[in-house]
Every structure is written in structure tokens, then in C-alpha cells.
Amino acid sequence: MTDLTPLDKAHALMIADEENDQARLGFYERLAESELFLMLAEDLNAADDAVSPEIFELEGVKYVLVFDREERLASFAGQVTPYIAVSGRTIAGMLAGQGIGLGVNLDVAPSSILLADAAVDWLHQTLGNAPDEVEEKVAELSPPKGLPETLIKALDTKLATAMGLASCAYLVGVRFAGGRNSHMLGFVDALPQAEGALASAAAEALTFSGIEAGAMDVAFFLSSDPVAARMERVGLRFDLPQLQHSVTQMRPPPGSDPENPPKLK
């Protein structure tokens, strides 16, 4: 089989060992991160953010269909079909609580799968979890210890997509003034409006690595803060990519903001 997509590969790992929770979480993480093409019943109206997905019913259960390649959607439809490109996380937000499942790459790819509405609701809820933000005073910092390599890789992958939201982040061991010990991901010079998104990215890295919630705190510091210099000395550094050009203001397309998913008609 050639031209396997990241979603195909994640699905293959999950199917190869159905008892492996890490492989299952890896598939759902890849689904959430992927750009997916949602089949629509009618063309998108540029005047509003409402979309009308094509809904299929199978054994009394309703599904909408998504594909991770435009050509896969075209192959399934067999004709010109309206669609919208959105992330998996956005689709989960659109469908959550609607009693609608998700058909992924049906009949056109090795990752063909039907996900029940309960699985879609679980994914949306999981993506909405956030770690605790640190409000305690930091007493001591140390190099991170005992964390699995899967978490380190997940953080590296997540933060590589957070372009321009902070200058960098450090993973450190921490003892707070109250005596509590933990690990902390400290972001440096984060945009104030991006703190929630960065905290959510950290939470997703935890969840999809199979780490229990609460295993890591999140904090935000200015580069002038003495704690930032201390993190530089002992922490594991993650450099976030930076914007190279100014961004032109324009109306974002429907589905581009995961906090405000398009509405279903």
C-alpha cells in the first residue's frame, strides 16, 4: 500500500493491537490534529457560519462523513460534492451532544472506520480538558525526571504547531512553597490571548500520552522574570516556531476557530 497518510498509519497501529490503549489514543490524537474534508449537503453560505453536512443513516444511527484527502472524498462521492475543510477537533465540537457519529474515509482508505456518537463526545470532552495553571510560588526547580518519552515527543509535536504564541517553553521538576512536588511546563513571553490555547495543548499532550491528569502544571512567565533564567539552567527547552511575516487581518473561514465551531443547520 502506497501513499499512506498519518491517519492511515495511526489507524493501522490501533487495529494491529486493539488492547493497546496508547495506540488507540494515538489514533484519536491524529484524528483531532488532521485537516478533514466534511461532505456537505449544500454549498456553504459565505454570509454565515452555518453548515449543512450530508447525513447518512446506518442501522438507525446518523453519521456525517469526513476524509483526510480531497481525492478520497471525490472517490467516495463519484461526483462534484460541496465540502468544507476543518480540523478533527473542530468537527468534534460541531457534533458533540448531537447524537451524530463520524464516518472516516469510508470505503476509500485503509483507515475506513465508523465512530459512534459516544466516541465523538468523548473526543470533544477530552480535547476540552485543561491542566491546572500554577498559582503557587515556586520554591525550587530541578531537571525533569521519570517522565515517559511519549510525553516528551507529544509536547514537542504539539508545541511545534503553536507558531508565534510564545518564545519557548521549559519542562522542569518543581517544588512549590507549600511543599508540593510536581512537573511544570513554563511558557516564556506567551501572548496573553494564547494562554488558554497553550494550556490546552499541554493537556492534550498529557492525555494522548496516557499520562494521568494532574501530572503536570502549566505556568506563564516573562523573559525578565528570574524564574525564566532558572528554568533555562535546569529545564528541557522547547522552542516554538516564530512568525516571519505580518499577518493580514481578514474574516476567518468557518471552522478555523476551534473555540467557535460552525453551527449545524
**Whether residue 123 sits in one domain with residue 11:** yes
**Whether residue 44 sits in one domain with residue 20:** yes
pTM given for the model: 0.69
Q: Flag the least confident range among 54-68, 220-234, 237-251.
A: 237-251
Q: Do the domain assignments include residue 208?
A: yes
Q: Do the domain assignments include residue 247?
A: no
The distance in angstroms from the start CA to the end CA of the chain is 38
**Whether residue 124 sits in one domain with residue 142:** no
pLDDT digits 0-9 by tens, 115-159: 999 999 999 988 877 666 667 889 999 999 988 888 898 899 889
Per-residue DSSP letter, 7: H
For the segment 58-67, the average pLDDT, to the nearest whole number, is 93
Nearest to 7 by CA among 109, 131, 120: 109
- The count of domains in the chain is 2
Q: Do the domain assignments include residue 253?
A: no
Q: Which amino acid is at 50?
A: A
pLDDT category, 265, cuts 50, 70, 90?
low
Q: Do the domain assignments include residue 258?
A: no
Please give the pLDDT value at position 21. Answer: 86
**Whether residue 57 sits in one domain with residue 166:** no
Which residue range(s) make up the domain with 149?
A: 138-234
**Whether residue 87 sits in one domain with residue 47:** yes
78: left (phi over 0), alpha (psi -120 to 50) or beta: left
Q: Do the domain assignments include residue 173?
A: yes
Per-residue DSSP letter, 55: E
For the segment 23-52, the average pLDDT, to the nearest whole number, is 85
Q: Do the domain assignments include residue 72?
A: yes
Q: Do the domain assignments include residue 264?
A: no
**Whether residue 151 sits in one domain with residue 75:** no
**Whether residue 158 sits in one domain with residue 114:** no
Per-residue DSSP letter, 215: S
**What count of other Cβ atoms lies within 10 Å of the Cβ of residue 108?**
16
**Whether residue 94 sits in one domain with residue 29:** yes
Nearest to 166 by CA among 193, 205, 135, 184: 193
Which among 86, 107, 128 is the end of a domain? 128
Neighbour-count burial of 189, counting CB atoms closer than 10 A to its CB (0-12 exposed, 13-18 middle, 19+ buried): middle
Q: Flag the least confident range among 40-54, 69-83, 117-131, 153-167.
A: 40-54
Q: Do the domain assignments include residue 26?
A: yes
Which CATH number belongs to the domain containing residue 100 in this structure? 3.40.1350
**Whether residue 171 sits in one domain with residue 87:** no
**What count of other Cβ atoms lies within 10 Å of the Cβ of residue 49?**
17
Per-residue DSSP letter, 132: P
Which among 64, 96, 128 is the end of a domain? 128
Tell me the C-alpha distance between 235 and 38, whole Å. 41
Please give the pLDDT value at position 215. Answer: 72
Residues 117, 64 contacting (CB under 8 angstroms)? no
**Whether residue 162 sits in one domain with residue 106:** no
Which CATH number belongs to the domain containing residue 228 in this structure? 3.30.300
Which among 87, 102, 128 is the end of a domain? 128
